[in-house]
Amino acid sequence: MAVKIYGIARSRAIRNVWACEEGGVPYELVRTQWTDGGTKTPEFLKINPNGAVPAMVDGDVALFESLAINLYIARNHAPGLRPAGAKGEGQLFQWTLWAATELEPANGGYVMQTVYTPPEKRDPAAIKAAWEKMFKPLGVLDGHLAGRTWMIGDAFSIADVNVASVLLGTWSNKADFSGWKNLHAWLDRCFARPAARKCIEMRAAAT
Ligand SMILES: N[C@@H](CCC(=O)N[C@@H](CS)C(=O)NCC(=O)O)C(=O)O
């Protein structure tokens, strides 16, 4: 039975689509949009009381929080995406929580000033300030990636999906990551993967 992912490709649901595509996990993207009230229906609120996408239903398991959904998908359906052992798992939790608490707020502030602020209202000083808030987490990531191909160990894993997918929109909008050489090369590596390319195309085509 396919894992049901609620959302649209131009939302954080793409993080879960990417995980499924990487792991060869059958999934169904159930179109659910926040701008037309789709995330506020009584049925949807039973799945995600936050009224936001993504959410996931897999048999009798219902989850929200995009990055937690990816941990579940890797744990239950795509063991090849799970870093091995207690150390690998600890590092996976570390980087996933870091992505949610350190990288996501900084990136979200930048997205707010750029994508979600209409062009005529955009303030260069506010955009610059929001971009500069990214420097600390981007620097941490760049340092971690020095001499590494992937986030944990020698193999691509769900840690790469969870961290890189937070930056997918900003990368797609051609933000300049060239000041962080290791990070820049890793993002290009992640987003050149066939599963990621499919997601980028889905995202670009999404309405
Ligand atoms: N931390 C949540 C954030 C979810 C979120 O904010 N989703 C957006 C779309 S990408 C949404 O549905 N916003 C509408 C709302 O919050 O009312 C996650 O990663 O799943």
Query: In the predicted model, what is the mean pLDDT of the chain?
Result: 97
Report the pLDDT value the prediction gives residue 109, as an integer from 0 to 100.
98
Cβ of 153 closer than 6 Å to ligand 1, yes or no, is: no
Q: Which two tokens stand for residue 173?
A: 């909008």
- Using the mean position of ligand 1's atoms as its centre, give its distance from the Cα of residue 52 in Å: 4
150 pLDDT above the threshold of 90: yes
Task: Report, as an integer, the average pLDDT of 128-133.
Answer: 98
Classify 59 in phi/psi space as left (phi over 0), alpha (psi -120 to 50) or beta.
Answer: left
% of the chain with per-residue pLDDT over 70:
100
Domains of the chain, by residue range, sit at 3-80, 83-199
Report the pLDDT value the prediction gives residue 162, as an integer from 0 to 100.
98
Question: What CATH code would you report for 83-199?
Answer: 1.20.1050.10
- Using the mean position of ligand 1's atoms as its centre, give its distance from the Cα of residue 84 in Å: 30
Residue 205 is given by DSSP the state H
pLDDT band at 95 (very low <50, low <70, confident <90, very high): very high
1 pLDDT above the threshold of 90: no
Give the angle subtended at the CA of 98 by the CAs of 44 and 75, to the nearest 5°. Answer: 60
Identify the helix (H) or strand (E) that includes residue 66. Answer: helix 66-77
- Using the mean position of ligand 1's atoms as its centre, give its distance from the Cα of residue 109 in Å: 14
The atom of ligand 1 lying closest to the CA of 13 is: 10
CATH label, 3-80, candidates 3.40.50.720, 3.40.30.10, 1.10.630.10, 3.40.50.2300:
3.40.30.10
What's the CA gap between 205 and 193, in Å, rounded? Answer: 18
CA-proximal residue: ligand 1, atom 6 (nearest) = 52
Q: Which two tokens stand for residue 184?
A: 């820049």
Report the pLDDT value the prediction gives residue 155, as an integer from 0 to 100.
97
Identify residue 186 by its one-letter amino acid code. W
pLDDT band at 163 (very low <50, low <70, confident <90, very high): very high
What's the CA gap between 141 and 146, in Å, rounded? Answer: 9
Task: Report, as an integer, the average pLDDT of 123-139.
Answer: 98
Report the pLDDT value the prediction gives residue 53, as an integer from 0 to 100.
98
% of the chain with per-residue pLDDT over 90:
99
54 preceded by cis ω (within 30°)? yes
Task: Report, as an integer, the average pLDDT of 167-190.
Answer: 97
Task: Report, as an integer, the average pLDDT of 2-30.
Answer: 98
